Structure formats: structure tokens, C-alpha cells
């Protein structure tokens, strides 16, 4: 709850008058930026006894806690299985024991993997996860839907595509393209593009994701629902780079690193179901979202002095 997506979600829920309890082990998140009204508890999603205590009196669970670094998951798949899948199942058991029926789960567009046919559709595109991270998200969906059916749980799994915005975690090993390009461009040094720039992704601004998560909690009696959340627009890595250069007003040197494996070559979400079931409509264009990200995230600016 104290991560990149959890923080603005918790803040928005508080703003709408809800009482919010957050759980995070602070392995990636921190309390910075979180509304003080959020009761944040340090702990692990696999700790059933802690979950029992925290879940007393709760109406709806937003399940976002996870390890999220794809290359890391290739090196340490058992950790991803333990936290992402094991954590989901432990949470489901604790919810059953305490009597909570509503869950919104942040799944991922990565479960689709390499697909020729775009856009990717929940009902007809057969998932082909290409990393242990993606497998852990798909396995969690299956547990939520199967257990949900058996125990009468009402859950919605949102397959979130490439979310971006201020405070997104990034480092040498975890380098989401938008903050990385903005920071490298702003530094007026070298921008490294993995691949030839033609790979595409569906980039969605954090505020649109938060809106979708909250809309999902309002569906009545959901039954095994899985819904894509993205912008519905396929954008190449080169287009993102061009925008980063335009926004930062820089002229960086660009190096194309053809050797590194870069995941699926194309990804674009079909939003038909999201529009129909959630009345979801992405509001923030990529240029607007990247401008907001750059304006609001001081870590991306050139360090002086
Ligand atoms: N950001 C995206 O583009 C995106 C896309 C698809 C799905 N998602 C999913 O959305 C969720 C949030 O992602 P994010 O981008 O905010 O990442 P994030 O790393 O910022 O947030 C994940 C949070 O989970 C916490 N966490 C990790 N292991 C934990 C554990 N064992 N117990 C308790 N807390 C733990 C971390 O400390 C962190 O605060 C994740 O489930 C992720 O898989 C994100």
C-alpha cells in the first residue's frame, strides 16, 4: 500500500471519506507521500496472523503487495512464487476466516506475453506469460477466481498495463522506460535504448489506474471478472524517447543496445470490457502524463552542485 500505485490509491480513498489501513513490508515502498490519515502497518503479506488482525471490520481489500521486477523474477522465481502467489493465497484464506468478500487485485498486462494479434483481449487472447513475474500474476488470478467461486468471494482482477507517473520506482536493474528516459535526457548525457526502439507498450498514467481500481470496487456481484486497464494506445519506445527529449528540452546522445532481451515486442490493451463494465475512460494523454511526471518528480531532474 506504500508503493507507486498504492500510495495515490490510498490517498484518493481517504479523500473520498474512507478509512484506510495499509500493509507494506517496505521492501520497495515507503510512507513518503502517504496521507497521514492512512493507518500504515509494517508487515508481510504472507503473515496470516497479522492479516487476521488487520482485516477485522474491513469491507474491501485492494491487493497490490507484490515483488514487481521482471528480471529479478527470472533470477529468483521462488521468491516471486512465495510473495506474489503465496501472499495472495494467504490473504484469501485470511479474508475467508474474517468474513470479507470483496477484493480488487492488481494483475498485469504482462500475463499476455508475446502475441501477434493486438489489441489484447481478456476473453480471446490466450495468456503466454514470459517471466516468473507474469506467471505469478496469472497464478494469482486463477487462485482468486477459483477460490472465489468456491467460497463466494466477489473479486475483480485488473490487468494493468505499463503504468507510469511520479514516484515510480526505478534503478539500474528496474528501469521502467518513462522515468529512465526522462532522467537520462534531463541529464543531457547518454540515453540507452534496449532494442531498436520499435517495441511497443500501452502506457497508462497513474491517476487513470487509481480511477480504475476505485471503479472496480463499485461493481455489484462480480463473478470471476478480469479486466484490462491501459490507455488503449500502442506507443513505441522511440515515441516515448522523442517525447522525453521534447519535454526536457535536451539533445542527448542515443545508444541502441540490440543485445538485451526486452520482453514482448508489442503490447496494447483492448479496453472494450473496461469501458462496458467500469465506465472507464483513460483521461491523461501520454504527453500530458509525461509532462506531469517530469514536473512532479524531482528525482528526474539534472542534479546540480
Ligand atoms: N506499475 C505498473 O506498471 C504495474 C503494472 C501491472 C501490475 N502492477 C501491479 O500493481 C501492484 C503495485 O505495483 P507498483 O508499481 O506500485 O509497485 P511497487 O513496488 O511500488 O509496489 C509494491 C508494494 O508491495 C510491497 N511489498 C512487496 N513485497 C511485500 C510483502 N511480502 N509484504 C507486504 N508488502 C510487500 C512493496 O514494498 C511495495 O510498496 C503490484 O502488484 C504490481 O504487480 C503494476
Query: pTM for this structure?
Result: 0.97
* 6 Cα: distance to centroid of ligand 1 (angstroms): 8
- Report pLDDT digits (tens) over 212-260: 999 999 998 898 999 999 999 999 999 999 999 999 999 999 999 876 6
Instruction: Supply the pLDDT for residue 260.
Output: 60
* Interval between CA 29 and ligand 1 midpoint (Å): 8
CA 255 – ligand 1 centroid, Å: 30
How much of the chain exceeds pLDDT 90, in percent?
A: 91
pLDDT tier at 305, thresholds 50, 70, 90: very low
pLDDT, tens digit, 9 for 90 and up, residues 40-70: 999 999 999 999 999 999 999 999 999 999 9
User: Nearest C-alpha to atom 24 of ligand 1 is from which residue?
Assistant: 65
The tens digit of pLDDT for each residue in 184-199 reads 999 988 999 988 999 9
DSSP letter string, the chain: --STTHHHHHHHHHHTT---EEEE--SS--STT--TTSEEEE--TT-HHHHHHHHTT-SEEEE------HHHHHH-HHHHIIIIIIHHHHHHHHHHHHT--EEEEEEEGGGG-S-SSSSB-TTTSPP---SHHHHHHHHHHHHHHHHHHHHT-EEEEEEE-EEE-TT----SSS--HHHHHHHHHHTTSEEEEESSS--EE-EEEHHHHHHHHHHHTT-SS--SEEEEES-S--EEHHHHHHHHHHHHT---EEEEE-SS--S-S---B--HHIIIII-------HHHHHHHHHHH-GGGSPP--
Minimum CA distance residue for ligand 1 atom 15: 4
Q: At the topology level of CATH, where does 6-300 sit? A: Rossmann fold (3.40.50)
**Nearest alpha carbon, ligand 1 atom 32:** 44
The domain limits of the chain are 6-300
Q: Is residue 20's pLDDT more than 90?
A: yes
Looking at the annotation, which residues are catalytic? 133
pLDDT digits (tens, 9 = 90+) for 112-165: 999 999 999 999 999 999 999 999 999 999 999 999 999 999 999 999 999 999
Amino acid at each position: 500500500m506504500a508503493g507507486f500505485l498504492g500510495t495515490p490509491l490510498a490517498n484518493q480513498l481517504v479523500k473520498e471519506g474512507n478509512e484506510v489501513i495499509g500493509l507494506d513490508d517496505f521492501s520497495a515502498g515507503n510512507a513518503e507521500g502517504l496521507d497521514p490519515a492512512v493507518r500504515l502497518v509494517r508487515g508481510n503479506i504472507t503473515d496470516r496472523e497479522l492479516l487476521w488482525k488487520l482485516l477485522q471490520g474491513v469491507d474491501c481489500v485492494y491487493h497490490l503487495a507484490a515483488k514487481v521486477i521482471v528480471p529479478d523474477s527470472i533470477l529468483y522465481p521462488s521468491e516471486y512464487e512465495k510473495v506474489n502467489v503465496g501472499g495472495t493465497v494467504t490473504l484469501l484464506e485470511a479474508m475467508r476466516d474474517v468474513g470479507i468478500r470483496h477484493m480488487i487485485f492488481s494483475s498485469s498486462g504482462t500475463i499476455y506475453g508475446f502475441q501477434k494479434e493486438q489489441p489484447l483481449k481478456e476473453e480471446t487472447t490466450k495468456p503466454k506469460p514470459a517471466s516468473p513475474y507474469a506467471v505469478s500474476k496469472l497464478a494469482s488470478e486463477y487462485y482468486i477466481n477459483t477460490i472465489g467461486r468456491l467460497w463466494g468471494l466477489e473479486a475483480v482482477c485488473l490487468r494493468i498495463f505499463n503504468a507510469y507517473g511520479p514516484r515510480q520506482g526505478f534503478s539500474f536493474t528496474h528501469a521502467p522506460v518513462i522515468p529512465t528516459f526522462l532522467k537520462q535526457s534531463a541529464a543531457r548525457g547518454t540515453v540507452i535504448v534496449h532494442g531498436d526502439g520499435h517495441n511497443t507498450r500501452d502506457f497508462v498514467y497513474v491517476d487513470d489506474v487509481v480511477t480504475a481500481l476505485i471503479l472496480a470496487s463499485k461493481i455489484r456481484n462480480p463473478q470471476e471478472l478480469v479486466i484490462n486497464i491501459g490507455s488503449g494506445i500502442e506507443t513505441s519506445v522511440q515515441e516515448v524517447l522523442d517525447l522525453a527529449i521534447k519535454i526536457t528540452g535536451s539533445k542527448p546522445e542515443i545508444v541502441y543496445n540490440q543485445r538485451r532481451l526486452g520482453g514482448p515486442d508489442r503490447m496494447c490493451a483492448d479496453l472494450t470490457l473496461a469501458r462496458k463494465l467500469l465506465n472507464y475512460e483513460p483521461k491523461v494523454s501520454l504527453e500530458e502524463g509525461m509532462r506531469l511526471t517530469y514536473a512532479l518528480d524531482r528525482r528526474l531532474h539534472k542534479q546540480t552542485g
